[in-house]
Amino acid sequence: MLHGQRVAVVLPAYRAAKTVERTWREIPRDTVDDILLVDDASDDETVEVARGLGIQTFVHPVNRGYGGNQKTCYTQALAAGADIVVMVHPDYQYDPRLISAMAAMIASGIYDAVLGSRILGNTARRGGMPFYKYVSNRFLTASQNMLMGTKLSEFHTGYRAFSRKLLLSLPLLADSDDFVFDNQMIAQIVAGGFAIGELSCPTKYFPEASSINFRRSCVYGLGVLKVSMQYRLWKCGLTKPAIFTDDAGKRLPANASVGA
């Protein structure tokens, strides 16, 4: 716990059998109360490895996509009573030792969301991020900042922390089940007026780390720009995309559980 607030770490997993143990071993136990893994119908031994480590594991019988995985992650964390939820990819690309620092930024009451940035501190290229990915990241982030009026160093990190209040306030069920979920969520956070902080995070690129292929990267990039344009049009009062709905039925339940 931090300042009396319960901290949960969620691991959205897909084919993470080779890396989940390394990630798990570096999660700080002095501040983290619950570790939850959601497996998105992996065809490797991710579930067996996670359960062998004693991680509370939830399994999608069919692949629901990266966004669908996160929806289950946050639902289960809220059901477990988490006040702060830290999401980190279990591919060991991000350093789990920073979980306490990210959670503390939420526990302070200053921030509602914290992003672990690979760009702050110039760690991305040193950690092995391919040059084309780095250029794409910088171009998309600059475009998104311009369209959304933000000043974030990175929109595309897989290392994020959120307050319970934020997770229960956003219409996350209206978001995509694919990779663009991350950016739709940030757009909703900005639209809701929540405070976003950033923390420099070293990154590691190696063969076992997860990565999407070039074709899906292009689809993702176009989707990201579409989300930012939707936000701009919504902000100008010209349209109201589904991701900015006020429908309470599109919010996560506070105490539902689908079983492990």
Bigger pLDDT: 209 or 219?
Answer: 219
Read off the pLDDT of residues 166-187 as tens digits, 9 standing for 90 and up.
Answer: 999 999 999 999 999 999 999 9
- Quote the CA–CA distance of 108 and 51 in Å, as a whole number: 33
109 pLDDT band, cuts 50/70/90, is very high
- Quote the CA–CA distance of 176 and 66 in Å, as a whole number: 9
Q: Assess whether pLDDT exceeds 50 at residue 112.
A: yes
Per-residue pLDDT at 215: 73
Q: Assess whether pLDDT exceeds 60 at residue 257.
A: no
1 pLDDT band, cuts 50/70/90, is confident
Q: Assess whether pLDDT exceeds 70 at residue 155.
A: yes
Q: Assess whether pLDDT exceeds 50 at residue 5.
A: yes
Pairing between β-strand 7-13 and β-strand 34-39 as defined by DSSP bridges: parallel
Per-residue pLDDT at 208: 60
The domain limits of the chain are 7-245
Average pLDDT, integer, range 212-227: 83
Question: What is the residue-averaged pLDDT of the chain?
Answer: 92
Per-residue pLDDT at 160: 98
Burial (CB < 10 A; 0-12, 13-18, 19+), residue 151, is exposed
Angle between the N-to-C axes of helices 131-148 and 181-191, in degrees from 0 to 180, rounded to the nearest 10:
30
Lowest mean pLDDT among 20-29, 79-88, 201-210: 201-210
* Number of neighbours of residue 177 by Cβ within 10 angstroms: 16
Least Cα distance to 251 among 179, 175, 158 occurs for: 175
Q: Assess whether pLDDT exceeds 80 at residue 246.
A: yes
Angle between the N-to-C axes of helices 65-79 and 181-191, in degrees from 0 to 180, rounded to the nearest 10:
60
In percent, how much of the chain has pLDDT > 90? Answer: 81
- Quote the CA–CA distance of 158 and 137 in Å, as a whole number: 13
Chain centroid to Cα 177, Å, comes to 13
Per-residue pLDDT at 239: 94
Read off the pLDDT of residues 53-75 as tens digits, 9 standing for 90 and up.
Answer: 999 999 999 999 999 999 999 99
- Report pTM: 0.93
Read off the pLDDT of residues 114-132 as tens digits, 9 standing for 90 and up.
Answer: 999 998 877 767 767 778 8
CATH number of 7-245: 3.90.550.10
